[in-house]
Amino acid sequence: MGMVDLNTVDLSAIKLTLKLASLTTCLLLIIGTPIAWWLARTRSRLKGMVGAVVALPLVLPPTVLGFYLLVVMGPQGPIGHLTQALGLGLLPFTFPGLLLASVLYTMPFVVQPVQNAFEAIGERPMEAAATLRAGPWDTFFTVVVPLARPGFLTAAVLGFAHTVGEFGIVLMIGGNIPGKTRVVSVQIYDHVEAMEYTEAHWLAGGMVAFAFLVLFALYTFNNSANRT
Amino acid sequence: MIRLLLVSLYLLGTSAVAFAGEVQVAVAANFTVPMQKIAADFEKDTGHKAVVSAGATGKFYAQIQSGAPFEVLLSADDTTPAKLEQEGMTVPGSRFTYAIGKLVLWSAKPVFVDDKGKVLKEGKFSHLALANPKTAPYGAAAIEVLKNLGLLDTLSPKFVQGENIAQTQQFVATGNAELGFVALSQVQKDGQLTGGSAWFVPEKLYKPIRQDAVILAKGKGNAAATALMEYLNGDKAKAIIKSFGYTL
């Protein structure tokens, strides 16, 4: 057993996982921030409903989302019709399909911390900025974003880590294609099923270390940020 | 005389209840549907209950090695039960072939798969589904077929792998993969294709999929396990098995 026991298939699974997690996190920060802003500020009666929809993946088993995605993105489903009409083919078994699933599944992990941070800011900094004649965009980027920075950090870290930890949905819509949809969690499952325990240990141990380091760094940072 | 009959009937009734047991069965995914039917009849006829878990044979092998509580294994191959027997994890002498499986290339679309399998050479599809060849015997048989046709390298970029043969069929049934290698038992009922189009892969292209059943060490002394094995070998079960396209 050498120092590096990871074969090329394992390495490609790791690369793919990191790519999926980074893209999911970026997309979610872009999509999730306006949703979080709206949820934090609105007095609309729709707030409860939108909040509930965003939080659904927290309580639903991945199999529910996986099953519906397979149907909805399939040739008879509405998303399947749309992607075929656009000449994109079908999304299951593709990287974009996994990305879409990850964005939906990880949404609450990004939206909720940002929403909490926005709510914690309150009205006063915004009013102060308005009296200084700052426009809404200016206020948002120079006042709100810096104040909500710990929320964004938590959102990004949790979004990334949660995507890395995804398994059930990927298993259901991924089709286990090396380099495209075979992420680390699926690769570990494959190793374990085939009784390749040594290979499984390398990847699984790496996942434990990764998850611990990420959460440790996050909690340490947030503690020191709270103290200042 | 009548009293004696009544008493013995009564005793028979209570003894059936007293001996009605339960058996935990691990079933290869391709045999799930036939097994549900057999288990229902088995319970009706013997009073014993078969509790069925379906999955990939390779997975069951790993789980049995780690002490899973299964008492009977209905494998999708003959090597896994033989290996377990060698490792002393079965009841010796309980192993037998309960079905010989057939591989089909199947599509949910009518007239997509021709009866010669030419569709594979033409390659006008984006996804070909098969079960994970590492853990599912039907997946390994699919690889063997493609190797014998000389198409393995050209088609492997189009593979999508199901975790077991049931998931593979689901990929094809939902149309997400245009076609795939599945077990005949999954797409045939009462001698008829349940839908779509299929190529019945000629048997010279792959080794016969002999599916063996065995009583596992955990099932030793469980009357329900022995009864199930006898039942599987009986005419009623055999008729069900054949109706799903297996040979015996």
Which pLDDT value is given to residue B1?
Answer: 56
A6 token code pair: 């990871």
Average pLDDT on A31-58 reads 95
pLDDT at B82 over 50: yes
Q: How far is B71 from chain A (nearest CA, A)?
A: 20
Percent pLDDT > 70 in chain B is 92
**Residue B176: which of A92, A192, A193 has the nearest Cβ?**
A92
Confidence of residue B16 (pLDDT cuts 50, 70, 90): very low
Contacts of B162 in chain A (CB under 8 A): 175-176
Confidence of residue B17 (pLDDT cuts 50, 70, 90): very low
pLDDT at B66 over 90: no
Q: B65 and A195: CB-CB below 8 Å?
A: yes
What does the DSSP assignment read for A67-133? HHHHHHSSTTSHHHHHHHHTT----TTSHHHHHHHHHHHHHHHHHHHHHHHHHHH-SHHHHHHHHTT
**Residue A71: which of B62, B135, B174 has the nearest Cβ?**
B174
More reliable by pLDDT, B5 or B54: B54
pLDDT at A228 over 80: no
Percent pLDDT > 70 in chain A is 96
Size of interface A-B (CB pairs under 8 A): 63
**Residue B66: burial class (beta carbons within 10 Å; 0-12, 13-18, 19+):** exposed
**Residue A190: which of B134, B174, B177 has the nearest Cβ?**
B134
Q: B176 and A89: CB-CB below 8 Å?
A: no
Lowest-pLDDT range of B17-26, B139-148, B177-186: B17-26
Which pLDDT value is given to residue B20?
Answer: 80
**Nearest residue on chain A to B135, alpha-carbon basis:** A194
Average pLDDT on A190-196 reads 84
Q: B61 and A195: CB-CB below 8 Å?
A: yes
Tell me the pLDDT of chain B averaged across its residues.
91
Phi, psi (rounded to 5 degrees) for B114: -90, 165
Contacts of A195 in chain B (CB under 8 A): 58, 61-62, 65
**Residue A75: which of B58, B163, B175 has the nearest Cβ?**
B175
**Residue A193: which of B62, B162, B176 has the nearest Cβ?**
B62
The 3-state secondary structure of B154-210, one letter per residue: HHHHHEEEECCHHHHHHHHHCCCCCEEEEEHHHHEECCEECCCEEEECCHHHCCCEE
**How many angstroms separate the CA atoms of A183 and A169, rounded?**
11
If interface means Cβ-Cβ distance under 8 Å, which residues of chain A face chain B? 70-71, 73-76, 89-90, 92-93, 171-173, 175-177, 189-190, 192-195
Mutate one of B160, B165, B181 to test the A interface: name it (highest A CB count within 10 A): B160
Maximum Cα–Cα distance across chain B: 77
**Nearest residue on chain B to A91, alpha-carbon basis:** B176
Phi, psi (rounded to 5 degrees) for B213: -110, 150
Q: Which residues contact B240 (CB under 8 A, 6 or more apart)?
A: B34, B37, B38, B41
Nearest to B176 by CA among A6, A51, A70, A181: A70
Dump pLDDT digits (tens) for A3-27.
445 688 899 999 999 999 999 999 9
Nearest to A50 by CA among A141, A115, A140: A115
Q: Rg of the Cα trace of chain A?
A: 20
Confidence of residue B15 (pLDDT cuts 50, 70, 90): very low
Phi, psi (rounded to 5 degrees) for B87: -85, 5
pLDDT at A186 over 80: yes
pLDDT at A185 over 70: yes
Whether residue B97 contacts residue B148, with contact meaning beta carbons closer than 8 Å, is answered with: no
B129 token code pair: 């589904």
Q: B62 and A190: CB-CB below 8 Å?
A: no
Residue B129 DSSP SS3: strand
Dump pLDDT digits (tens) for A125-138.
888 888 888 888 88
**Nearest residue on chain A to B128, alpha-carbon basis:** A175
Domains, in order of start, for chain A: 8-227 (1.10.3720.10)
Contacts of A70 in chain B (CB under 8 A): 170, 174, 176
pLDDT at B13 over 80: no
Q: A171 and B163: CB-CB below 8 Å?
A: yes
| pTM of the complete model | 0.82
Residue B109 DSSP SS3: coil
pLDDT at A31 over 80: yes
Which pLDDT value is given to residue A111?
Answer: 98
| Chain-centre distance for alpha carbon A138 | 28
Domains, in order of start, for chain B: 2-100+209-243 (3.40.190.10), 103-200 (3.40.190.10)
Contacts of B65 in chain A (CB under 8 A): 195
Phi, psi (rounded to 5 degrees) for B4: -60, -40
ipTM of the prediction: 0.77
Dump pLDDT digits (tens) for B138-148.
999 999 999 99
Average pLDDT on A55-66 reads 93
Confidence of residue B42 (pLDDT cuts 50, 70, 90): very high
